[in-house]
Structure 1
Amino acid sequence: MPGRADTPPDTLVIADKIDDIVSLDPAESFEFSGNDALNNVYDTLIKIDPVSEQLVPGLAERWEAIEDGKTYVFKIREGLKFHSGNPLTAEDAAWSLQRAVKLDKTPSFILTQFGFTPENVDGLIKATGEHELQITTDKVYAPSFFYNILTSVVSSVVDKQEALAHEQNGDMGYEWLKTHSAASGPFMLRSWKPNDSVVLEAPDGDYWGGKVAMKRIYVRHVAEPSAQRLLIEKGDIDMARKLTPGDIQAVSANPDIKIQEEQRGRIFYIAANQKVETLANPKVIEAIKYLIDYEGMANSFLKGQVVPHQAFLPKGFLGAIDDRPYTLDVEKAKALLKEAGYENGFEATLWVRNEQKRLDMAQSIQNTLGQGGIKVNIRSGTGAEILGDYRARKHELILEVWGPDYPDPQTNADTFARNPDNSDEAKLTGVLAWRTAFPAKATTPMVDAAVVEKDTEKRRAMYEEMQRILQKDSPFMWLFQEVEQNAMRRGVDGFSTGKALSSAYYWPVVKN
């Protein structure tokens, strides 16, 4: 049949680059590809509607903050079951949040910012009935901020009984859950083969959240955009998620293929490690900001897939700003380097994930920094390798992408603008300021104040101010906000990337 893909009608086959996955335990997953999968496997108390992008009831059918402003009560839906057949109760929800805090993996800071610790969390998050959950925070926060947190992957509700059945040495099922699932969502994890594939399967029975047409989601790791293009043109896959602008333009002429565009919340940026003497000089950092061809990249090999953006909050978030104070200015950069004592330049290494788009960006940056006298060596590797060095503070310059974990400005402020403990021993690996050894002394108290401010306009102004401070004084160079272009076979409908606020939604997809 003309226009019809050759993939099975009940299976969605996707080509993507998924070498960033290090774990599929929701208490540990903190990478784009892993969270795309887990957004379709686990449920959370509160969810984000993929169409309206508004908060909607999830496993909790209703919730409220009680009089002290620190305590929240959630009514869990009755009659729900996990994929194992075990009943889903408030105890599962409490244990899941407690577990994430106690395991203390990279995304745990999303929860611990409310004062939860491994020692106190059992008393602060608890089931007060079979279908009633009570959570008490350390102080009064803006309620919308707290509710937004509960949409994040780390807040996923795990089947306590199933996880503990696979416990090893008191790990609460951690080793097993890295490659298995214990969930209630529209799909269950069938397999994950690193640098090869992720397979999700719909369990028997109906999903409480709505109809699921696809019985299987098969995500293939296809590193080369040219290979993805060939597969989508042949009909061997339903969707290609990492095509270059040139590939997008080429496949657009194919009547059997359509292009879906969505502006994401992901921000491309460069971070300079402040433990490196050369890069700790503010004049050097300012010079680098003037040695990047923002417009040139956006209008050439990145055309259609990014928009220039020079602040840590993406467009669409409360407090986002459009200020773009930096443009390519080689002479100004050279003057700054001379002031810094590097009139003859210096040498530095740029870490980058071996994805074509990022490699092209790295080469452009290598070229323009070279014009200013900075010799850049490019060090490429898999997503897991590059992230591992970044989290261990082993990088010099690094080109990375950051996406929000929940739909509130605090999600990015807390990681770019706040660093409560800059010591190596703190190991705040989820905090980008810590990863790059930036103390963020001016903005850390501002972040702490903004998160408890109930007046929305005052809160907006606080985030605007801290972004302008960091534009000038931080070792972060924000480059672009992503526009994701996905090529898919005609007849594939209902897919959402999650837009600016969430991860991918596979379960609403249908194929006609």
Structure 2
Amino acid sequence: MYRRLHKASSGIAGICAGTILGVMAGLAATPALAAKDTLVIAIPGLPQGVDLDKHIGPQTWTMGAQLHEWGMDWEFGPYPFETGAYYDPTNISGFEYPIGYTNQNMSPSLMTGCDISEDGKTITYHLREGVVSAEGNEFTADDVIWRFDRERERPIIYALITRLFNLDQAEYEKVDDYTVRLTNPTPAPLGCAGLTNFYYPWLDSKAVEAHSTPDDPYGDNWIATHGGGFGAYHVTEWTPGKRAVMEANPNYWRGEPQIKRIIWLVVPESSGRLALLQKGTVDIAEALSPDELASLESSDVARPVAIRGNRQMWLILNNEMKPFDDPRVRQAINYLIPREEIVNDVYHGMAKEWSGVISSVTPGYQDLHPYSYDPEKAKQLLEEAGYGDGFEAELAYSAGIPEMENIAIALQSALAELNVRLDLKKLPVAAHSDLVQSKQAQMAFWIDSPIQPDVNYVINLVYTSGPLSLVNYNKFSDPKVDEMIKTGASIVDPEERLEHHKGVQERIQEGAAMGWVVEPYYRMGISRDIEDIDWNTTQFYRVAKIKIPD
């Protein structure tokens, strides 16, 4: 038996007419465009890359999802939130939703199974035989060990996820070509469920090594624009600022998909993406505003789609900057957020009022609902905090998310009633991301979607303090919360785990760690010819599932 033991890392270190014509001319030169085997997707821009250990963002998610497969999938089934609205995904024939996200049922993918011991300390992966990448290499235990080695040597996102799974001290070993065992000093309840996590993929180590150099031993440069996974597609073109092309993996273990080619077309302005969709020039338009999506209601070419899931609109309130260092001020802001107005007037119903500290579709969510719109309560809290005459603050938002500006204006108007004066600052996408992720924003809007449906994972990711608090952009700090999170991470019994975290959520909400705004739905416009599309909790769809009938 081949055996290697390793210590897993614990460190973390309006588009113009000429442009539309140019895009259409370029597509017309593509012979396969009119065929049922090519899909053209309009996106705001190519991502920095599709290396899931380094890159984060909407385009990384939708593009990376076509290149990778995961150890396990959530069970799929009918959409559980049918509304009858014109944007309801049930209007699409064959639409599927990850119902396993809430009922915790998984289905096999790259792994046929995963065993976890009764004490939660031993996890065994059983790899599927015969999974072959587009490069012609079979998925084996060596690829799993290589991925863990990469995490140990250059800990970035994988290492963060491993910590959230409580596996950062695990030892791992190859039992045979299709079996890997992890041994952990403490219980790791997410040892198997974590195999569904988008940021826990498995790469073709042979292909990566073939494109590695002494200065880049883990193939970062190649992975960034190729992915290197065992997914349904592989990259054949990557032209920054213009487009990327993916071709079907002829060896794909689920069977070669109907769509043989994907063209990711860069169209920076959402109005341009909408125009191309309405002309039938593209099949899918990503990142459309609620207003643009609503304009498709009566279109006979394209349909609007808005899917309720795990997205959240956060109002960052820097807990270490005045006046938000006082929890009474943060509570007051929460009482002033016009959630109903935002849902109805900004999102046209394509969002849900948010009244908890984690997504309402996450198991263990508590609908605590303490912060209904109440200006009088907000006024009382501001007076108690010494801000009865109001204050000034800067609110940053992204130019890349059109609805943020409308929400910012609505909030500015609501807060002005109590003489809280907001200076609205519209930032380019990169500058906005840098400001929020550096934790230097005083106030800022941010959309996120913690993707593991586990209450401890989400709370740990967003609200824990200290050096590993990567996504705690509010700089919220409560030693009692940290202690409860640490204790909860090792609780194996599902009912006990959920019960423990009720108190955690209540304490976080009482401390008003952030402004909880709304839960926006995932939105896109798609051709009315498309059937059998799905949606996944990392805000992506799988092209390999799509069917376009004759």
TM-score scaled by length of structure 1:
0.88
Query: Which residue of the partner structure matches residue 108 of structure 1?
Result: 159
Query: Which residue of the partner structure matches residue 440 of structure 1?
Result: 478
Q: 1:16 to 1:323 in 2, by over 3 A?
A: farther
Query: Which residue of the partner structure matches residue 380 of structure 1?
Result: 426
Q: 1:462 to 1:163 in 2, by over 3 A?
A: same
Give the secondary-structure state (helix, strand or coil) at the position aligned to 2:487.
helix
Q: 1:462 to 1:93 in 2, by over 3 A?
A: same
Matches of residues 54-203 of structure 1 in structure 2 within 5 Å?
54-66=105-117, 69-114=120-165, 124-142=171-189, 145-165=190-210, 166-192=212-238, 196-203=242-249
Query: Which residue of the partner structure matches residue 13 of structure 1?
Result: 40
1:442 is displaced (CA, Å) by 2.3
The 8 Å contact of residues 52 and 157 in structure 2, kept in 1 or not, is answered as: no
- Measure the CA separation in 1 of the matches of 2:143 and 2:291: 48
What is the aligned residue count? 491
1:73 is displaced (CA, Å) by 1.6
- Measure the CA separation in 2 of the matches of 1:334 and 1:191: 57
Does residue 402 of structure 1 match 2:448? yes
Identity score, percent = 22
Give the secondary-structure state (helix, strand or coil) at the position aligned to 2:196.
coil
Give the secondary-structure state (helix, strand or coil) at the position aligned to 2:306.
strand
- Measure the CA separation in 2 of the matches of 1:46 and 1:132: 15
Matches of residues 336-347 of structure 1 in structure 2 within 5 Å?
336-347=381-392
Could you tell me which amino acid in structure 2 is paired with residue 400 of structure 1?
W
1:30 is displaced (CA, Å) by 2.9
Could you tell me which amino acid in structure 1 is paired with residue 219 of structure 2?
G
Does residue 474 of structure 1 match 2:501? no
Give the secondary-structure state (helix, strand or coil) at the position aligned to 1:504.
coil
CA deviations on 1:442-495 (whole Å, 9 max, x unpaired) are: 222222222322332222222333222212203311111222343222111122
The 8 Å contact of residues 7 and 237 in structure 1, kept in 2 or not, is answered as: no
Query: Which residue of the partner structure matches residue 366 of structure 2?
Result: 321
Range moving further from structure 2, 190-199 or 440-449: 190-199
CA deviations on 1:194-215 (whole Å, 9 max, x unpaired) are: 5654433213x24102441112
Matches of residues 290-369 of structure 1 in structure 2 within 5 Å?
290-354=335-399, 355-369=401-415
The 8 Å contact of residues 310 and 451 in structure 2, kept in 1 or not, is answered as: no
Which ranges of structure 1 fall in alignment gaps of 5 or more residues?
Answer: none
1:191 is displaced (CA, Å) by 4.3
Q: 1:224 to 1:274 in 2, by over 3 A?
A: same
- Measure the CA separation in 2 of the matches of 1:468 and 1:380: 33
Query: Which residue of the partner structure matches residue 302 of structure 2?
Result: 257
Does residue 496 of structure 1 match 2:541? no
- Measure the CA separation in 2 of the matches of 1:91 and 1:31: 29
The 8 Å contact of residues 391 and 419 in structure 2, kept in 1 or not, is answered as: yes
Query: Which residue of the partner structure matches residue 264 of structure 2?
Result: 219
CA deviations on 1:138-182 (whole Å, 9 max, x unpaired) are: 31132xx22221222332111222222323425411233222222
Query: Which residue of the partner structure matches residue 74 of structure 2?
Result: 48
Could you tell me which amino acid in structure 1 is paired with residue 184 of structure 2?
T
The 8 Å contact of residues 164 and 172 in structure 1, kept in 2 or not, is answered as: yes
Could you tell me which amino acid in structure 2 is paired with residue 306 of structure 1?
A
The 8 Å contact of residues 266 and 314 in structure 1, kept in 2 or not, is answered as: yes
- Measure the CA separation in 2 of the matches of 1:194 and 1:379: 28
The 8 Å contact of residues 39 and 261 in structure 2, kept in 1 or not, is answered as: yes
Could you tell me which amino acid in structure 2 is paired with residue 497 of structure 1?
W
- Measure the CA separation in 1 of the matches of 2:166 and 2:503: 26
The 8 Å contact of residues 202 and 216 in structure 1, kept in 2 or not, is answered as: yes
Range moving further from structure 2, 379-388 or 390-399: 379-388
1:34 is displaced (CA, Å) by 0.8
1:79 is displaced (CA, Å) by 2.6
1:83 is displaced (CA, Å) by 1.9
- Measure the CA separation in 2 of the matches of 1:39 and 1:494: 16
- Measure the CA separation in 1 of the matches of 2:342 and 2:357: 19
The 8 Å contact of residues 45 and 241 in structure 2, kept in 1 or not, is answered as: yes
Give the secondary-structure state (helix, strand or coil) at the position aligned to 2:314.
strand
1:413 is displaced (CA, Å) by 1.3
Give the secondary-structure state (helix, strand or coil) at the position aligned to 1:155.
coil
Give the secondary-structure state (helix, strand or coil) at the position aligned to 1:432.
coil
- Measure the CA separation in 1 of the matches of 2:183 and 2:150: 16
Does residue 246 of structure 1 match 2:291? yes
- Measure the CA separation in 2 of the matches of 1:340 and 1:139: 43
- Measure the CA separation in 1 of the matches of 2:317 and 2:241: 28
The 8 Å contact of residues 234 and 247 in structure 2, kept in 1 or not, is answered as: yes
CA deviations on 1:117-148 (whole Å, 9 max, x unpaired) are: 5xx66xx1232212211112231132xx2222
How large is the Cα RMSD of the aligned pairs?
2.5
The 8 Å contact of residues 148 and 408 in structure 1, kept in 2 or not, is answered as: no
Could you tell me which amino acid in structure 1 is paired with residue 60 of structure 2?
G
- Measure the CA separation in 1 of the matches of 2:430 and 2:214: 25
Range moving further from structure 2, 465-474 or 10-19: 10-19
Give the secondary-structure state (helix, strand or coil) at the position aligned to 2:273.
helix
TM-score scaled by length of structure 2:
0.83
Which ranges of structure 2 fall in alignment gaps of 5 or more residues?
Answer: 1-31, 77-95
CA deviations on 1:252-299 (whole Å, 9 max, x unpaired) are: 212232333321211111121123132211121112112211111111
Could you tell me which amino acid in structure 1 is paired with residue 236 of structure 2?
R
Could you tell me which amino acid in structure 2 is paired with residue 364 of structure 1?
A
- Measure the CA separation in 2 of the matches of 1:404 and 1:115: 16
Q: 1:67 to 1:370 in 2, by over 3 A?
A: closer
The 8 Å contact of residues 259 and 544 in structure 2, kept in 1 or not, is answered as: yes
The 8 Å contact of residues 310 and 477 in structure 1, kept in 2 or not, is answered as: no
1:501 is displaced (CA, Å) by 6.5
- Measure the CA separation in 2 of the matches of 1:18 and 1:70: 43
The 8 Å contact of residues 267 and 312 in structure 1, kept in 2 or not, is answered as: no
The 8 Å contact of residues 29 and 35 in structure 1, kept in 2 or not, is answered as: no
Could you tell me which amino acid in structure 1 is paired with residue 442 of structure 2?
E
- Measure the CA separation in 2 of the matches of 1:281 and 1:343: 14
Could you tell me which amino acid in structure 2 is paired with residue 29 of structure 1?
H
Q: 1:476 to 1:167 in 2, by over 3 A?
A: farther
